[in-house]
Chains A and B, each alone.
Chain A
């Protein structure tokens, strides 16, 4: 088994504020950009005791970008880093999304909230590999509909908000139901908060389709040794950091 994984001190090259509390922090991390597979994540030092998991949002040359919303001490720390500041980055970690063998099978991205952060890289790589892509994005409000312009470069984007401040009012599962009624034969990639993941899996189960779902549970180590970040799948606890984060929807208990 060969694992191309690094533990590096990476320098911040840019900290871009997207507005409304969302940031993209870019680090010079060739070890990550070279080896990242879409949907994988890294553990990053962020001024706290434990490192924090972040999915890779995009790569530009040797720079890896991480998109996040400032919600606590770790993300606040990252948002205040200055160019040239160094943090420890450990990765790439975990199992990412698997592109379908059949290149004619369209990829349907289903994102909830900050779960969108993993998809620009996924969509770009999928697009470079000639897959047809569509994104369904549910967020709390207009302000949380980030990255949509970027994702539109790779395919259609339909969004829905909890409060109706942009587009339809409702949940992303409504868009998914409509989409699956039209065409069940799509490779579905899902990422978002746990309650949204569970609702999406229920919809997939109703339609008899299997999705690839990126899970996030609170984790301490990110590489399998602490056994914290478990979810029940196939009747036992699997570690989302090494057995996932991307897992098949049909093995997960909802």
Chain B
């Protein structure tokens, strides 16, 4: 038993480091030259919809120098049916801990997609993408607590697989949406998706991305993610939080755990270093040994125990 074993709600994980949706291809084949998917805490698939989606025309990304990048991929994916037939067997064969990310524009879209996987035992969790900023209507579910509640309660009726709601930071009070999600039966909340942003190209005198806005990710959004996890864990210490947002190193991951996330997802860092997730896992192992932790989960939320910490 490794000291990195952990749980997020009902979901057991080999370690708290997962690949974030949209940053590991459709099903992570591309990592084969670098590591085995089974070494990870888990892999969250590309957002899958009931029908295949082409995505947006290029350019789809623009770098924000020193800070990260904006993307507007537009949820290009082969559709859930194709995925279940052609990609899920690969992930099962690779012995990966599988989290399927589902996206849609209507409750029926989500339901249709969830129905394809509702009784698959090999799936550890379903992450509902309530918050993709790059398609019309995509943000609605995570900006309106009532809509989030309706969507998640409907999905809860369809499957016993644990549900994680991936929420948008583009809201006034994240805890309202968190509450609605959990009241509806969500088993965890993934915080955060990308931050809406915009870049201007001074030479063309136009927005750098064709749809103008994009999702901002990378090192610059880490403090935003930490703040939202902080607020959520402070108000609802028992709600499992999957931390996401600019994590590049084991130190970053530790900060998320201290803040209240029980596991983390590595996103944009995969673009600049395909081995980022494995390096983070190794860094967490070292951290446990140096700090004589029996389990990495001992530090989850520790930053909230201010008195204990200052006395330590």
Contact = CB atoms under 8 A, between A and B. Distances in A.
Contacts of B270: 221, 225
Interface in A33-54: 48-51
A49 B61 CA distance: 13
A184 interface: no
B274 A7 contact: yes
A193 interface: no
A218 B60 CA distance: 8
Nearest to B208: A218
B33 A49 contact: no
Interface residues of A, number: 29
Contacts of B63: 48-50, 220
Interface in A186-202: none
A90 B218 contact: no
A227 B73 contact: yes
Q: How large is the interface on B (under 10, 10 to 19, 20 to 34, 35 or more residues)?
A: 35 or more
A151 interface: no
Nearest to B72: A228
Contacts of A73: 65
Interface stretch (B24-32, B139-147, B169-177): B24-32
Interface stretch (B51-59, B192-200, B235-243): B51-59
A90 B274 contact: yes
A242 to B, nearest CB: 7
22 contacts: A1-B32, A7-B34, A7-B273, A48-B66, A49-B64, A49-B66, A49-B67, A49-B218, A51-B272, A90-B274, A217-B58, A218-B60, A218-B62, A219-B61, A220-B71, A221-B270, A225-B30, A226-B61, A227-B22, A228-B60, A228-B71, A230-B55
Interface of B: 22-25, 28-34, 46, 54-55, 57-69, 71, 73, 76, 218-219, 268, 270-275
Given A49-B69, A237-B54, 6 more contacts: A49-B68, A51-B271, A226-B23, A227-B22, A229-B58, A242-B30
